Structure formats: C-alpha cells, structure tokens
C-alpha cells in the first residue's frame, strides 16, 4: 500500500465532521506569537493537520494532541510528496469528512502554492477557506528593524523568487534595477551569485547594501550584512541555510546590530 493511501486510510478512521472542508492557513515566519488569532482558533479545531518543513516547531507545539499530523515535508531539493499528491491528499481527507488544516509557512498565497491547492479543492467542490499569514518578507524584515519602505529610501518593494520551476531564476532583471525600490528574494540562496551578477550587469551598484535573514523571528535567527558585490563571498564564507531571505536596497543599510534581540517579547500583562 502506498504511503499516501495509508495516511488517507488512517484519517478515515477518525471521527468525521459532517461534510469535510479544508482551511489553508498561514503560519507566519516562525515566531508562534506572530500567528493570527484566527489561525490559532482554526488549528485548535483541526481533525487533520497537513504541514511542511517551513512550519516552525514553536507553531507545531500549538497543534492539539488529538489531531492527526501529516508531514508532507517540502524543501527546495526534497519533496516528500509531489504537489499533485498533496492536492489529492487534501481532497481525499476532506471527502472523508475531516476538518483539514493545511498549514503553510508565511502566507499561503505568497510563493506557497496555496493557489494551486485551492484550485484543486474547488475543482472537486470542496469548501476551502483561506487564513492569511504574515509573509516572511514583512515579518522577518520588520522584526529585524528593517523597514521595507521608507520615505527617504524606498517607495516600492518587490517580492521576487530566486528559484524558478527549472532552477536558475529567469527574471526581468532590468525591471528589478530601479532607484527607490527594495528587493526581497525568497529562496535566493542557491542562486545568490547569479542574482548579484545579473543585478550589477543591469546597472545596480556593487555598493548597494543587503542583508540575509536566516530563520527570521526564530530563536536561531541570524542576520548577515554585505554589499551586493560581496554577496558571493559572504555566501561562501557564512553558508547561510534555508529558510533565508535576501533583502537588497538602501533600506538594508538601516540595519543596526545589537538593537534588535531575536525575539522581541513584551512582558506578560496582568489581566
Ligand atoms: C516556498 S517559500 C514560502 C514563502 C511563504 N509562503 C511566505 O509567505 O513567507 C520559502 C521561502 O520563504 C522564505 N522564508 C520563509 N520563512 C522564513 C524565515 N523564517 N526566515 C527567512 N526566510 C524565510 C525563504 O526564502 C524560504 O526559502
């Protein structure tokens, strides 16, 4: 029996709700306190929770014990289940009458294939609800003290993928090079050298500041700074690991070490 069939059979043995449904829920960048109240409520009511590597241990700790957890374990190089198998799994779990929560890092619709999962569910007539999450760019940059826009430095911000369907990014580099614009590359580590080379070839100054935010908002957060020209050497020396973001532009120059602890936690309030 295939692993996917075993998972479905296992879920079918649980107490079904009348009419299954799927909630596509954004888990934010990692700090569990950055979950929305709605996400927390939906997670607490799940029969089955389908998650992947981007969901942090702190968020997973909030999943109720009785919920069945299915790890579909996607990383850049290792997909435990293919996207079409994940789509089928969600459909079959819902058809079995479960309240399914598909928990995704960040926001489900920002480089998260949430749109593909929603379309697969809609094709099968399965109710699909979306709970937005804080996407890594805004969550990690703000928590690190980097404003993605700033009246003096950046009037626009672009979220860009550094990894296309076939690997190396094939982007409109000319359009990405513009004064007063912040670039945030998701999945940009593997082709960081290409990104730096192409941006400079199309006119971006080698002295442009950048930061890499590794595991943003999580206890292991690391922030690395360099200029665009220095990026290949920085990657070779520090070897940052996914998940990491690349923030390029004048606002990256506003980052100051020491000002921002990895976890900004307010003291508990007496109620
Ligand atoms: C497949 S994309 C998913 C993005 C997600 N849906 C979101 O809205 O943040 C995965 C990429 O998001 C970025 N990412 C997600 N969480 C991150 C974190 N805590 N710190 C740094 N980068 C993160 C990394 O670039 C990672 O390779």
What are phi and psi for residue 154, nearest 5 degrees? -150, 120
How does DSSP assign 227-239, residue by residue? ETTTHHHHHHHH-
Q: Which two tokens stand for residue 220?
A: 């292991």
Q: Are 222 and 240 in contact (CB under 8 A)?
A: yes
Q: How confident is the model at residue 167 (pLDDT cuts 50, 70, 90)?
A: confident
Read off the DSSP letter of residue 242. S
The answer to whether 144 and 216 are in contact (CB under 8 A) is yes
Q: Which of 27, 72, 12, 22 is nearest to 45 (CA)?
A: 22
State mean pLDDT over 73-101. 86
Specify the higher pLDDT residue, 79 or 202: 202
CATH number 1.10.1040.10 is the correct assignment for the domain at 137-254: no
Rounded to whole angstroms, the Cα distance separating 112 from 123 reads 19
Residues 6+ apart with CB under 8 A from 79: 73
CB 114 near ligand 1, within 6 Å: no
The confidence band for 148, taking pLDDT boundaries of 50, 70 and 90, is: very high
Tell me the angle at which helices 231-238 and 192-201 cross, rounded to the nearest 10 degrees: 170
Tokens of 90: 């969600």
User: What does DSSP assign to residue 150?
Assistant: B
What confidence tier does 18 reach under pLDDT thresholds 50, 70, 90?
low
DSSP 243: S
Instruction: Give dist(CA 114, CA 128) in Å, integer.
Output: 11
Tell whether the model's pLDDT for residue 58 goes beyond 60.
Answer: yes
What value does the mean pLDDT of the chain take?
90
Which active-site residues does the annotation give? 52, 74
Work out which ligand 1 atom sits closest to the CA atom of 221: 20
How confident is the model over 75-89, as a mean pLDDT? 80
Top pLDDT among 193 and 271 is at: 193
Q: Tell me, using a 6 A CB cutoff, whether residue 102 lines ligand 1.
A: no
10-134 CATH = 3.40.1010.10
The predicted-structure confidence for 199-241, as pLDDT tens digits, reads as follows: 999 999 999 999 999 999 999 999 999 999 999 999 999 999 9
> In the chain, what are the domain boundaries?
10-134, 137-254
Atom nearest to 30 CA in ligand 1? 19
CA of 13 to the centre of ligand 1 (A): 34
Ligand 1 centroid from CA 29, angstroms: 7
Contact 132 CB / ligand 1 (< 6 Å)? no
> Over 80: is that where the pLDDT of 17 sits?
no
Helix (H) or strand (E) holding 175: helix 173-176
Report the residue among 27, 31, 51, 54 best suited for mutation to probe ligand 1: largest number of ligand atoms under 8 A from its CB. 54
Owner of token pair 């979220």:
159
């Amino acid at each position: 029996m295939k692993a996917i069939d075993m998972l479905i059979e296992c879920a079918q043995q649980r107490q079904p709700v009348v009419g299954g449904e799927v909630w596509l829920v954004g888990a934010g960048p990692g700090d569990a306190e950055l979950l929305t109240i709605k996400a927390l409520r939906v997670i607490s009511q799940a029969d089955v929770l389908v998650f992947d590597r981007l969901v942090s241990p702190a968020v997973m700790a909030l999943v109720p014990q009785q919920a069945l957890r299915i790890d579909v374990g996607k990383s850049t190089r290792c997909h435990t289940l293919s996207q079409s198998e994940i789509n089928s799994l969600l459909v079959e779990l819902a058809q079995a009458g479960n309240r399914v929560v598909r928990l995704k890092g960040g926001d489900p619709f920002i480089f998260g294939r949430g749109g593909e999962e929603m379309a697969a569910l809609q094709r099968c007539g399965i109710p699909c609800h979306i709970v937005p999450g804080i996407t890594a760019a805004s969550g990690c940059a703000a928590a690190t003290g980097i404003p993605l826009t700033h009246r003096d430095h950046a009037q626009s911000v672009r979220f860009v993928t550094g990894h296309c369907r076939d690997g190396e990014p094939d982007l409109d580099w000319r359009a990405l090079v513009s004064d007063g614009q912040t670039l945030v590359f998701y999945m940009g580590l593997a082709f960081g050298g290409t990104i730096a080379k192409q941006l400079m070839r199309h006119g971006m100054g080698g002295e442009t500041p950048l930061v890499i935010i590794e595991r943003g908002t999580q206890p292991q957060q690391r922030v690395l700074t360099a200029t665009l020209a220095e990026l290949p050497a920085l990657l070779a020396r520090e070897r940052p690991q996914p998940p990491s973001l690349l923030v390029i532009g004048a606002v990256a120059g506003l980052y100051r070490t020491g000002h921002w602890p990895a976890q900004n936690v307010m003291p508990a309030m007496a109620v």
